[in-house]
């Protein structure tokens, strides 16, 4: 049995309906920022419990627009070092300096590391829900941000539908940015969305995403915007995937439960402790290998001997050790020991919306032979 790391899934019924809608769009000639984009935004904000949603062409642009709307230019913004480069790039492109911070045991930022990273010009924090897991210390992070007058933005690229105390990712700070890149829990091909309750961020985001224009048909440019528009075709894909999100998460949670239970007594690999009040969408199922294990060898043996393919890590190399930032900020190894250690030792088990119990059991049996 071959188990891939991820599978992108559009059920047949959805594919047929999507094709019909795409045909309608092509006939109508309204290809961007039209009724489907609006409908997608309404459905997403209603699903998420946020007042507003603004659809854009990527998760990266969602973050940059939020940060521009918060006027970060000339300040500094804290991001975890163990994130996708896009989080940090968005800060820089919005005109601020990035300050990296170490992570805690759950691979997420914690208040101590945020406090240690603070500089006099720090304006806010971008919290990344790594693997779809909202940080255990969210309340303390929120309190710290309030005390220090920092904004809290969520990079929710991994966390569609994840909740903490029944509140959804994307509603936990001043604004959240989601990605619909193909490997994410739901996809629109390419795309992203901003969620917020803040009217000013909402209004400015609408302007930023369309070349800073005051309105769709106006030729008055009031902001330094860009082409960050979502096309109607992508909006249709996103809408159909959104209608499947809860169903996809239910399957992922069932697979995670099998992994949790079957791996609990396996030596040399540990499951990640998650808070009881948090429900992950399991964008990634993260486990930590004992330092006696060589990740490369483990993954290669699983692939070659058992046909089990692990997913990409989150992340293999922390940002501060990426060549682009080493050169830019003079960062070096040893600065963020927890992130360096966990980035080097964690693995992401296969996880997708159509995964079967038999596939999960095969993954577990294979791991037991290899580690
Ligand atoms: C944590 C994180 N932030 C931001 C992004 C950027 O999203 P996108 O690829 O849609 O621009 C991604 C996704 O790839 C991500 O994983």
CA of 136 to the centre of ligand 1 (A): 22
CA of 286 to the centre of ligand 1 (A): 18
The secondary structure of 132-160 as a DSSP string is: GPPPTTHHHHHHHHHHTT-EEEEE-TT-T
CA of 78 to the centre of ligand 1 (A): 17
Average pLDDT, the chain: 97
Angle, CA 112 vertex, CA 108 and CA 115 arms, to 5°: 110
In three-state secondary structure terms, 3 is strand
Least Cα distance to 319 among 341, 339, 337, 342 occurs for 339
Which pLDDT score, from 0 to 100, does residue 38 have? 98
Q: Is the pLDDT of residue 327 over 90?
A: no
Fold of 245-370: 3.90.1150
Which pLDDT score, from 0 to 100, does residue 217 have? 85
Ligand 1 atom closest to the CA of 183, numbered from 1: 14
Which pLDDT score, from 0 to 100, does residue 20 have? 98
CA of 237 to the centre of ligand 1 (A): 18
Least Cα distance to 55 among 67, 71, 30, 38 occurs for 38
Contacts for 298-305: CB closer than 8 Å, 24+ residues apart = 298/347, 298/370, 298/371, 299/347, 301/370, 302/366, 302/367, 302/370, 305/366, 305/369, 305/370
Which residues have C-beta atoms less than 6 Å from ligand 1?
58-60, 83-84, 86-87, 128, 155, 157-158, 179, 181, 192
Numbered ranges of CATH 3.40.640.10 in the chain: 12-243
Fold of 12-243: 3.40.640
Which pLDDT score, from 0 to 100, does residue 27 have? 98
Ligand 1 atom closest to the CA of 192, numbered from 1: 10
Which pLDDT score, from 0 to 100, does residue 32 have? 97
CA of 28 to the centre of ligand 1 (A): 31
CA of 231 to the centre of ligand 1 (A): 18
The secondary structure of 281-294 as a DSSP string is: --SSEEEEE-TTS-
Least Cα distance to 65 among 128, 148, 153, 141 occurs for 153
Cβ atoms 57, 189 nearer than 8 A:
no
Quick one: CA torsion of 288, 291, 295, 298, rounded to 10 degrees?
-90
CA of 179 to the centre of ligand 1 (A): 6
Model confidence band, residue 273 (pLDDT cutoffs 50, 70, 90): confident
Mutate to test the pocket of ligand 1, among 88, 181, 189 (most ligand atoms within 8 A of CB): 181
Mutate to test the pocket of ligand 1, among 157, 228, 230 (most ligand atoms within 8 A of CB): 157
Please report how the helices 232-243 and 35-48 are oriented relative to each other, as an axis angle in degrees rounded to 10.
30
Model confidence band, residue 216 (pLDDT cutoffs 50, 70, 90): confident
Ligand 1 atom closest to the CA of 86, numbered from 1: 4
pLDDT of 68-87, one tens digit each? Answer: 999 999 999 999 999 999 99
Which pLDDT score, from 0 to 100, does residue 209 have? 98
CA of 147 to the centre of ligand 1 (A): 29
Q: Which residue has the tokens 């619909």?
A: 180
Q: Is the pLDDT of residue 218 over 90?
A: no
Largest CA distance in the chain: 64
- Residue minimizing CA distance to atom 7 of ligand 1: 59
Which pLDDT score, from 0 to 100, does residue 330 have? 85
How large is the average pLDDT for residues 306-317?
98
Please tell me the distance from the alpha carbon of residue 298 to that of residue 278, in angstroms, as a whole number: 30
How large is the average pLDDT for residues 88-108?
97
């Amino acid at each position: 049995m071959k188990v891939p790391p991820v599978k992108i899934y559009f059920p047949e019924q959805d594919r047929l309906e999507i094709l019909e809608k795409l045909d309608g769009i092509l006939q109508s000639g309204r290809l961007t920022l039209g009724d489907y984009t609006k409908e997608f935004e309404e459905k997403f904000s209603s699903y998420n419990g946020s007042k507003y949603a603004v659809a854009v062409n990527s998760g990266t642009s969602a973050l940059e627009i939020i940060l521009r709307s918060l006027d970060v230019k000339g300040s500094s913004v804290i991001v975890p070092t163990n994130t996708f480069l896009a989080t940090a790039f968005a800060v820089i492109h919005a005109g601020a300096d990035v300050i990296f911070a170490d992570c805690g045991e759950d691979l997420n930022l914690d208040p101590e590391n945020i406090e240690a990273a603070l500089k006099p010009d720090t304006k806010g924090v971008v919290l990344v829900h790594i693997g779809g897991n909202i940080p255990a210390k969210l309340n303390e992070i929120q309190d710290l941000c309030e005390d220090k007058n920092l904004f809290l933005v969520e990079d929710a690229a991994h966390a569609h539908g994840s909740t903490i105390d029944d509140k959804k990712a994307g509603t936990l700070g001043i604004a959240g940015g989601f990605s619909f890149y193909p490997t994410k829990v739901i996809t629109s091909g390419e795309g992203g969305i901003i969620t917020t309750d803040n009217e000013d961020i909402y209004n400015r985001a609408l302007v930023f995403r369309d070349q800073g224009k005051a309105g769709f048909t106006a030729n008055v440019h009031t902001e330094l915007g860009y082409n960050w528009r979502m096309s109607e075709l992508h909006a249709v894909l996103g809408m159909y995937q959104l209608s499947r999100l809860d169903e996809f998460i239910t399957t992922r949670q069932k697979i995670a439960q099998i992994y949790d239970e079957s791996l609990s007594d396996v030596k040399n690999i540990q499951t990640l402790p998650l808070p009881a009040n948090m429900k992950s969408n399991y964008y990634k199922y993260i486990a930590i290998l004992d330092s006696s294990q060589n990740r490369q060898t483990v993954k290669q043996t699983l692939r070659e001997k058992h046909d089990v393919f692990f997913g990409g890590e989150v992340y293999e190399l922390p940002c501060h050790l990426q060549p682009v930032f080493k050169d830019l900020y003079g960062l070096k190894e040893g600065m963020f020991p927890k992130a360096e250690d966990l980035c080097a030792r964690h693995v992401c088990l296969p996880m997708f919306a159509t995964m079967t119990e038999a596939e999960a059991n095969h993954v577990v049996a294979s791991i037991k032979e290899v580690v």
